[in-house]
Structure 1
């Protein structure tokens, strides 16, 4: 795993889009998943394993209850992966972790809270072509058959129609990325995808630390956060777009018109 500290906006752009040229396609088409976090010291624990203890053992119980009580809502689900995506989307602790195809969406989540502008942030960049090399054979075969680099919920269901089967695909740890179904505009506008590991208690950062290729951590210093935030606002990467509806509108207005937080570093 590589770590790079950027010093200005231009250097940040270069780092985010590094390696995006695809020689085969003759296009700028990167195979990267991005995750932005406001504190560079934060790990990649999921909402499930952040609970600690044996909480991850309750995964199947919570998901079973969620499926039972959520039936009849406006979101049709055909597979366990649809249900898991829906549960994650609505705040149930799961083994999934949120990522995006968009580096600017990642930067939004790095800068969305002005109260955290006094600390360095981080953007994780993971090349899923590299992590796919460690996938068990059935999953690799499914990607090859579909001519894809990331999974859909439907593709995953073809290989493993339940989490127990998924966990038994390999004795060693692996991670894959899949695109959730377009549950609502929020999923679409955030250009979202999820990571999932074959162990509900596993930590993705501990797994990625052992990867020699395809994993970078870009450290965004505290003094750069306000500039990044202002330029994202100008580019219309805001809560109003990423969280469509009145709640997102209110979140955007609350942040946009918030006075400068005490102790926030000055740009110049």
Structure 2
């Protein structure tokens, strides 16, 4: 895996321009550059109970909250992933600015990481059980089973077992890691907000609204004060 460090917003624009005319790349942002590419179900503290067991417990209770019947397990895992359940899915997107947002939106005192992944193959999920995959890590292109999946242009890598990292040993394709310095994070998030990439649009629900306004308040000193305080709802 190649590793690059950027040092300015101009370098970010130059970086993103390389992928403007292609949809074969997938992107992921992590707010701490030291983290491995491992799904939540494989991380310390979440690996004590098999993810299959947790999913089926979630599945039998979640039915009352779902909008339709006859979801496949692949669709339900996508919904579970985007509502916080530890699964063997790891989030990716084909929109680089979405990944950049997640690289910069938290852990302001730490460098973030922006990953560019070009997978060689993806799984034909209609023909296989998500808990019975022989390949350690493989890309999955989901249906838009939830608004969050749709708004974040979500894709997933599927890890078997969940603690398997995507790295040089499991990689089937190319992978680049770009380090996002901590001192650029605030500026990046304000830039992305101007482009319409923020909590409100990525999480189209009350949680997203609350997170967006919380972010605005936390960064109040950064904003231009030449506006009326009653206009806060416009931000």
TM-score (norm 1): 0.73
Shift of 1:162: 5.0
Of 122, 142, 157, 1:195 maps to: 157
Of 174, 177, 187, 1:217 maps to: 177
Identify if the C-alpha distance between structure 1 residues 61 and 245 changes in structure 2 by more than 3 Å, giving closer, same or farther.
closer
- Equivalences for residues 39-50 of structure 1 within 5 A: 39-50=32-43
User: Secondary structure, in 3 states, of the residue corresponding to 2:218?
Assistant: coil
Q: Distance in 2 between matches of 1:201 and 1:37?
A: 17
Of 157, 160, 166, 2:126 maps to: 157
**Does structure 1 conserve the Cα–Cα contact (< 8 Å) formed by 2:93 and 2:155?**
yes
Identify if the C-alpha distance between structure 1 residues 90 and 117 changes in structure 2 by more than 3 Å, giving closer, same or farther.
closer
Q: Distance in 2 between matches of 1:120 and 1:54?
A: 26
User: What residue number does 2:232 align with?
Assistant: none
5+ unaligned residues in a row in structure 2: which ranges? 222-235
* 1:51 partnered with 2:44: yes
Of 35, 56, 74, 1:81 maps to: 74
User: Secondary structure, in 3 states, of the residue corresponding to 2:143?
Assistant: coil
Shift of 1:78: 3.6
Identify if the C-alpha distance between structure 1 residues 217 and 77 changes in structure 2 by more than 3 Å, giving closer, same or farther.
farther
**Does structure 2 conserve the Cα–Cα contact (< 8 Å) formed by 1:126 and 1:215?**
yes
5+ unaligned residues in a row in structure 1: which ranges? 22-27, 133-149, 262-268
TM-score (norm 2): 0.82
Q: Distance in 2 between matches of 1:260 and 1:4?
A: 32
Q: Distance in 2 between matches of 1:162 and 1:186?
A: 21
User: What residue number does 2:63 align with?
Assistant: 71
Deviations 1:29-69 (A, max 9, x none): 2411111111111111211111359636x222222222222
User: What residue number does 2:24 align with?
Assistant: 31
**Does structure 1 conserve the Cα–Cα contact (< 8 Å) formed by 2:78 and 2:149?**
no
Structure 1 runs (4+) deviating above 4 angstroms are none
**Does structure 2 conserve the Cα–Cα contact (< 8 Å) formed by 1:45 and 1:205?**
no
Deviations 1:120-140 (A, max 9, x none): 1110110123xx2xxxxxxxx
- Equivalences for residues 102-181 of structure 1 within 5 A: 102-113=95-106, 116-129=107-120, 132=121, 150=122, 155-158=124-127, 160-164=128-132, 166-167=133-134, 173=136, 175-181=137-143
User: What residue number does 1:235 align with?
Assistant: 195
Corresponding pairs, count = 220
